[in-house]
Amino acid sequence: MLNDSIKMNITQKIQRQLKLQNIIFYILVIIVVALLAQLSLKTNIRSDWTANNRHSLSKITTNFLTHLDQTITIQAFISPSSEYRPALESLLSSYQSHNSQLNVSYINPDFSPDLVRELKIQQQGEMVVAQGDKQTHVFDLSEQSLTNALITVSRQQEQWLVFIEGHGERSPLNSANYNLSVWGDQLMQKGFKFLPLNLVENNEIPNNATAVVIASPESEWLDGEIDIIKNYVANGGNLLWLAEPDSNQFLAGLGEQLELEFIPSIIIDPNAQKLGISDPQFVLITDYANHPIGQATSGVTVFPQAVALEQIPNDDVDWQYLPLLTTHANVWSETTPPKEGAEQPFVFNLGDDTKGPLNIGYLLSRTMTKKEKNAEQRIAIIGDGDFLSNTYLGNGSNLELGMAIMNWLAGDDALISIPVKTTIDNQLQLNQTQSLIIGIGFLIVMPLLLLGIGLSLWWYRRRQ
C-alpha cells in the first residue's frame, strides 16, 4: 500500500510540472508571435529574384522618393473586386515604403459618381496624382508613368514651351496629320504648357520660356525674326529646331551661329524595305548616342524625308557637339534628281551624292556663367519634323525619342531614363539535350522507379 501511495504522489507531482511546463510554453509562444507581429509591422524586407528586378523600383525612382519633401496625394479609382486591385496596391505600397509623404486613398468609382465626373475618370485603376493645385492622371500600372506623374506635380516652376508660328510651322494645338497635337497631348500630361508666338507681332521671347520650338517652317523668315532667335540663343535660351530638306535654308543664319550646316537634298535609306516600307526616303535609326536620350529610346525610330547635318570645323567654338542620330553606313544623301520613269529612281552616284553614315540629329550644350547657378544651355537640332507629326508619331520609338528630347531640353534629366520593365524570365529555355533528359526522366525513369518500389513492397509483405 505504501509503495502504491508513493507512486501516486509522484505521478501527481509530475502531472503538475507538465501542466506548468505547458502553460509556460504557450505563454512563450504567444510572446514570440506578438514580437514577430511587431517586427513585421516595423520592418519591410523584400527580395526580388526576377531577372531584371521588375518587382523593385529603379534607382532613379528611389532617389527621387528619398529627396521628395512635399506631400502628394494619390487617388486610385478601382473597385474592391477588380482583378487589377492587387497589382495596384503592390505598386503603391512599394512607393510608400520609400516615402511616407505619399497619401494614398482607394476610391470605389461605383459609389463616388460625382467625384468620377468631376475628375473625368475614364477607366478602372486610373490614378489622380495631385500636389496643391497641380494634378495629372496615370492610366497604366507602370513605374515609368507613376514616377513621371510624381515628378510633374512636384515641379516648383511651370514649364512653358514657346512654339514659333507665322511661317507654316507645325502646331501642338492642331490635330491635322501634319501637326503635333498627339505629341502635344503627351507633353501636357507631363506638365508642359504651350505658348504660340508670332515674332512679327511679339518681338521678344518671354523670360519664363523653358525652351523655344521651331517646328519645320515652310516660308522665309524676316531678318529681324532671325535676329530675335539668335539673340535668344546667345543669351542662353534652350531650343528645339526641327528642319526639313526643302526648307532648312530659311534659317541659314541660325545654322551659322550654331556652327552647323545641312547637307543638300534628302537621305535615301535602302534599309526601309526590311520593315516593309517601299519608299527609301524613310530613314531608319537604330544607332543612338551614348546619352540619356539615346538610352531612353528602346527601338528603331522612323524619319520620313530627312536631311543630314554636319559640324562646321571651328576650334574657337564653345559648344559641345554630340551626334544623336546616326544612319546606317549604306545610306546616302541624294543630290541628283531621279529620272522620271526610271526602274530604280534612287541610285547612289559616286562624286555627286554624300555617302553614309550620316547624322540627322545633333545635341549642343554649353555652360552659361551669366545664368543663375551656371546653368547649362541645351539645343537639339533634328533634320526632320515628320517623325513627331500626328501621322508618324506612333511608328517605332518616335514618341519615346520626342519625349526624351523635350525632357532633356527642360532639364528634367530624371524623367528621361526611367525604365519600362518587362517580363524577361517567364519562359524556360531548354536545349535539345536538356529536353531529352527531362522527357526520358519523366516518361521512362520515373515510372520504372515507382514500379520497382511497388514491387519491392509487394515482395516484402508477401514474405512476412
Q: Give 298-352 pLDDT, tens digit per residue.
A: 889 999 999 999 998 877 778 999 999 999 999 998 877 655 555 567 776 776 7
Closest by alpha carbon to 105, among 78, 136, 123, 132? 78
Instruction: For residue 54, tell me if it sits in a domain.
Output: no
Based on the structure, what is the number of domains in the chain?
A: 3
Instruction: For residue 451, tell me if it sits in a domain.
Output: no
How many helices (H) and strands (E) would you count in the chain?
Answer: 13, 19
Are 381 and 280 part of one and the same domain?
yes
Instruction: For residue 49, tell me if it sits in a domain.
Output: no
- 161 neighbors 206 (Cβ within 8 angstroms): no
In 3-state terms, what secondary structure has residue 309?
strand
Residue 258, pLDDT above cutoff 80: yes
Instruction: For residue 397, tell me if it sits in a domain.
Output: yes
- E-strand ranges in 208-294 read 209-215, 239-242, 260-262, 266-268, 282-285, 287-288
Q: For the whole model, what pTM was predicted?
A: 0.68
Instruction: For residue 463, tell me if it sits in a domain.
Output: no
Instruction: For residue 226, tell me if it sits in a domain.
Output: yes
Closest by alpha carbon to 377, among 416, 417, 414, 408? 408
CATH of the domain at 65: 3.40.30.10
| Angle between the N-to-C axes of helices 143-154 and 59-67, in degrees from 0 to 180, rounded to the nearest 10 | 30
Distance from the first to the final alpha carbon of the chain: 46
- Position 464 confidence tier, pLDDT thresholds 50, 70, 90: confident
Residue 2, pLDDT above cutoff 50: no
| Angle between the N-to-C axes of helices 143-154 and 85-96, in degrees from 0 to 180, rounded to the nearest 10 | 50
Closest by alpha carbon to 242, among 209, 278, 262, 216? 216
Are 192 and 89 part of one and the same domain?
no
If you average pLDDT over every residue of the chain, what do you get? 85
Are 279 and 301 part of one and the same domain?
yes
Q: How far apart are CA 377 and CA 411, in angstroms?
A: 9
- 11 neighbors 19 (Cβ within 8 angstroms): no
Are 77 and 212 part of one and the same domain?
no
> For residue 186, what are the domain limits?
158-338+349-416
What stretches of 319-445 show up as alpha helix (H) in DSSP?
398-409, 413-416, 432-440
Count CA atoms within 13 Å of residue 16 on its CB side.
5
Q: For residue 461, what pLDDT is reported? A: 83
**Residue labelled with grid coordinates 535660351:** 237
Q: For residue 427, what pLDDT is reported? A: 60
Q: At a CB cut-off of 8 Å and minimum separation 6, what does 256 contact?
A: 312
Last residue of a domain, one of 109, 128, 149: 149
Residue 426, pLDDT above cutoff 60: no
